[in-house]
Structure 1
Amino acid sequence: MSDISVAVIVGSLRRDSINRKVAQAVTRLNAPGLAFTFVEIGDLPLYNADFEAAPPPAVASFRQQIATAQAFLFVSPEYNRSVPGVLKNAIDIASKPNGHNGWGNKPGGLFGATPGAIGTAVMQSHLRTVMGGVGVTVFSGPEIYLTVKDDFFTENGDFNEGTHRFLQGWMDGYAAFVKKMVG
């Protein structure tokens, strides 16, 4: 059996985004049987039903990547106590047109990181609600609220030892969940 394709979606467009760095480090953790591919959302236009007759190339490409992925991993910051607009826009784009929801009936995982003390708790709550609306079953393992401090990453961009151990435990559970759902 070939590896399960997991689309990784980062909810920040910033080049030096903490969440992009976290997503890159997470995908380097041990996850046998999973193949991670970053799916970019920065070139997507704002969703508009008027373009359904002839979707722009960026929309068609994104929808194809989401439709062919077998699972998802969302790593996102929290903007104004919710999901970043760019991430919500991407979710809306791949859920349309009606009857062509690329997200549906697939497993997903989500978390985020911030320099702030409460992590991305509110964003995660909102994103879980949105994922339920588009048919993604979210891994119910431990919720991850990462607070990034100076020693969070090593010099080569991996996690410090304690964070690595903690996130490897999460990844082990997520990988088992994805494998069970995909079958």
Structure 2
Amino acid sequence: MLGPYSIVALVGSLRKESFTLKIANAMAKLAPASLSVAVTTLHDLSFFNQDIEANPPADWLRLREKLQHSNGVLILTPEYNRSIPGVLKNAIDIASRPYGKSSFLGKPIGIVSNSPGPLGGVSAAKHLQTIMPGISGPIMGQPEIYLNGVGDAFDDQGELTKDSLKVVLQQYLEAFAAFVEKQNR
């Protein structure tokens, strides 16, 4: 494998003790040597407003540049009301603009949803699969990953302790590494 490929892991939650952030951090640690995963939170990202698109704020430009300089993107999301959180949709709107110049274009995309409940955020993942085509590169279709029961997967320091989840994340990352390599040839 070539690499390491630079991967942006967009965290679609703002909560300090977010399972999504913990999963992103675990994935950064578990990533194979061919991937360098940069966990990216959205705390300081202002709201998208088309009125200021001609002169975008610095935070928009930073996000766009980070994505443009990457070799791929992992989008990690919890499920809010059977969809993605507003902060994640806001980031996607900012990064995909201006029209025809999406920062996601050509970037292989991986979608990782999670929930402490039994469905693993599947509705949020499906919404991302609806939103991303047309503004991104190829979306990895297999394996899909909907992480359920994540509420007991981490210790008090946020470290992944659930071995079954660790195995799933490692398998997904290996598949994503191969997908990224194929797309970056």
| TM-score normalized with structure 1 length | 0.92
CA distance in 2, matches of 1:43, 1:118: 30
Give the superposed CA RMSD.
1.7
Q: Percent identity?
A: 37
CA distance in 2, matches of 1:101, 1:150: 34
> Structure 1 stretches (4+) deviating beyond 4 angstroms?
none
2:29 is paired with a residue of what secondary structure?
A: coil
CA distance in 2, matches of 1:109, 1:149: 19
How much has 1:100 moved relative to structure 2?
1.9
How much has 1:44 moved relative to structure 2?
1.7
How much has 1:125 moved relative to structure 2?
0.4
Given that residues 13 and 42 in structure 1 are in contact (C-alpha distance below 8 angstroms), is that contact kept between their aligned partners in structure 2? yes
* Map of 2:54 onto structure 1: 53
1:142 aligned onto 2:143:
yes
- Residue correspondences, number: 183
**CA deviation string 1:38-62 (max 9, x = no partner):** 2232222221111122211111111
User: Which letter does structure 2 place at the counterpart of 1:78?
Assistant: E
Given that residues 131 and 137 in structure 1 are in contact (C-alpha distance below 8 angstroms), is that contact kept between their aligned partners in structure 2? no
How much has 1:2 moved relative to structure 2?
4.5
Given that residues 30 and 170 in structure 2 are in contact (C-alpha distance below 8 angstroms), is that contact kept between their aligned partners in structure 1? yes
Moved more, 153-162 or 126-135: 153-162
Match of 1:168 among 167, 170, 179: 170
**CA distance change for structure 1 residues 121 and 4 in 2, over 3 Å: closer, same or farther?**
same
**CA distance change for structure 1 residues 174 and 99 in 2, over 3 Å: closer, same or farther?**
same
* Map of 1:126 onto structure 2: 127
Structure 1 stretches of 5 or more lacking a match?
Answer: none
Moved more, 151-160 or 33-42: 151-160
How much has 1:136 moved relative to structure 2?
2.8
CA distance in 2, matches of 1:170, 1:105: 20
Given that residues 109 and 138 in structure 2 are in contact (C-alpha distance below 8 angstroms), is that contact kept between their aligned partners in structure 1? yes
**CA distance change for structure 1 residues 50 and 6 in 2, over 3 Å: closer, same or farther?**
same
Match of 1:158 among 114, 136, 160: 160
Structure 2 stretches of 5 or more lacking a match?
Answer: none
